[in-house]
Chain A
Amino acid sequence: METQTLNVGKIEEGFVLDHIQVGRSMEIYKYLHLDKLDCCVAIIKNAKSSKMGKKDIMKIACPIEEIDLDILGFIDHNITVNIIKGNEIVEKKILKLPGELHDVIRCKNPRCITSIEQGLEHVFVLTDEENEIYRCKYCEEKYHGHGKKKSGLKG
């Protein structure tokens, strides 16, 4: 069977997100609010990976200050983030769990004040880094990080 290759060109400035767990690139597209940015985005799904078997890759061509990548640490801290400037990799960002998540996950506790106050931001605070546990800032409802309980994700 003939091997097919897909060529996606280099970017001058922006980000290359590598080693994305297969199938999760669209989720990342949404969390980074890339639909709201007027920039060129390449999403490569099911790329071959010696480490992972298959993986997703994203290339985002935009000024590097335009995107806040902290949320990636919450989605999957194994993603490799390459920051590109002047066609070169200028930094490999090490991801860690963000200390606070604002309007990323929703509190599911029906007794929480966020369940009735529409304008209130849903804020989760990292309370146990080792076990990746976040708690609602208001009612302390527990949430396990890293997509262990994906149903809570706000999207």
Chain B
Amino acid sequence: MRHLISPLDLSVEEVDKLMDVARDIEENPQKYAHACEGKTLATLFYEPSTRTRLSHEAAMLKLGGSVLGFSSSNSSSAAKGESVADTIQTVACYADIVAMRHPKEGAAQVASEHAPIPVINAGDGGHQHPTQTLTDLLTIRSLKGSLGNMVIGICGDLKFGRTVHSLVKALVRYENIKFILISPEELRIPGYIRTDVLDKNHVDYKEVERLEEAMPELDILYMTRVQKERFFNEEDYVRMKDFYILDTEKMSLAKEDMYVMHPLPRVNEISVEIDKDPRAAYFRQTQYGVYIRMALILKLLEIEV
């Protein structure tokens, strides 16, 4: 039995195979419409997350399975002080697979150690969010045809964004990837990602402060939200939040086949006017998120179609 706790739990070959299945699902949805009949997914969300929960639930429903669960810790036994280990063992009596989000880091790991059924980590605090990383990889591969030989710009809060850290760790496993890391100095990527991930894997990268500077070189631009709660004071937030807003002017500097991605939700870092640009790929990214989760559920339940 397998779980998915960290994005690197799956080898490059396994991720490739998963993406092949996701692609087949996209092209032949009917073929998979009853693949999980009689199976139940439990979504245990100890903190709210509309997108991730609905994406997992949609994935299971599109496979013909059913879903149950809770969407905040107040509506679960956690409010009475039940441990993750006890909750997971109870839920395993009702469901065949679990997707879990928890505010504490390592919660999904604890669940997987006690679960007699597969556990998908749907986010454990600021630690891991592997299905987002798989979504990002599938999106890049679908848009560009492969996962190597490209320049990827990552813009915004690179210091605290777990999505960014996981994506960098996952992408360095592919050939000839170059990163341009675009952020204010205060929100630069952590030192350990630079040394332990980029330098260690001899990956070419540069750090710039201005989005305009990077735009002409990019094949993919991955935008992230600058979250208000990351700042110690309002003043710093207000000063920096608009530094990295993507608008039509900046977009005009980009290649014709450059794509813009974003894990969503966005606030104002991508102007709505960009939505109409064919290079805006963030809503397609959300759609790919359902396909890859469908493929993942099939893999973890060991169902072949």
Contact = CB atoms under 8 A, between A and B. Distances in A.
Interface of A: 109, 111-117, 119-120, 136-140
B102 interface: yes
A114 B106 contact: yes
B126 A113 contact: no
Interface string B104-144: 11110110000000000000111100000000000000000
Interface in B79-106: 83-85, 102-106
Contacts of A111: 103-105, 125-127
A137 B104 contact: no
A54 B43 CA distance: 60
Q: Which of B103, B105, B126 is packed against the most chain A CB atoms within 10 Å?
A: B105
6 contacts: A113-B104, A116-B104, A117-B83, A138-B110, A140-B105, A140-B127
Give the contact-size bracket for chain B.
10 to 19
Nearest to A141: B105
Contacts, number: 45
Nearest to B105: A139
B83 A112 contact: no
A112 B104 contact: yes
A140 B126 CA distance: 11
Contacts of B103: 111
Given A111-B104, A138-B105, A117 B126 contact: no
Given A111-B104, A138-B110, 14 more contacts: A109-B105, A111-B105, A111-B127, A112-B105, A112-B106, A113-B102, A113-B124, A116-B104, A117-B110, A120-B110, A138-B109, A139-B125, A139-B127, A140-B127
Contacts of A109: 105
Contacts of B84: 113, 117
Given A111-B125, A111-B126, A139 B83 contact: no
A121 to B, nearest CB: 10
Given A117-B83, A117-B84, A136 B104 contact: no
Nearest to B126: A111
A119 B103 CA distance: 18
Contacts of A140: 105, 127
Nearest to A139: B105
Contacts of B83: 117, 119-120
Contacts of B125: 111, 139
B3 to A, nearest CB: 14
Contacts of B126: 111
B169 to A, nearest CB: 12
Contacts of A139: 104-106, 125, 127
Please indicate which of the listed interface residues A115, A119, A136, A139 has the most CB atoms of chain B within 10 Å of its own CB. Answer: A139
Contacts of A137: 106, 109
A51 B101 CA distance: 55
A120 B111 CA distance: 12
A17 B104 CA distance: 41
A72 B102 CA distance: 36
Contacts of B107: 113, 138
Contacts of A116: 104
B104 A115 contact: yes
A112 B104 CA distance: 5
A43 B96 CA distance: 56
B45 to A, nearest CB: 16
B148 to A, nearest CB: 27
A116, A119, A138: residue with the most chain B Cβ atoms closer than 10 Å: A138
A139 B85 CA distance: 16
B203 to A, nearest CB: 20
A127 B126 CA distance: 21
A114 B102 CA distance: 13
Nearest to B111: A113
A120 B126 CA distance: 20
B85 to A, nearest CB: 8
Q: Which of B102, B106, B125, B127 has the most CB of A within 10 A?
A: B106
A107 to B, nearest CB: 9
The 6 tightest CB contacts between A and B, nearest first, are: A138-B106, A139-B105, A113-B104, A113-B106, A113-B107, A139-B106
Contacts of A113: 84, 102, 104-107, 109-110, 124
Interface centre among A113, A136, A139 (most CB of B within 10 A): A113
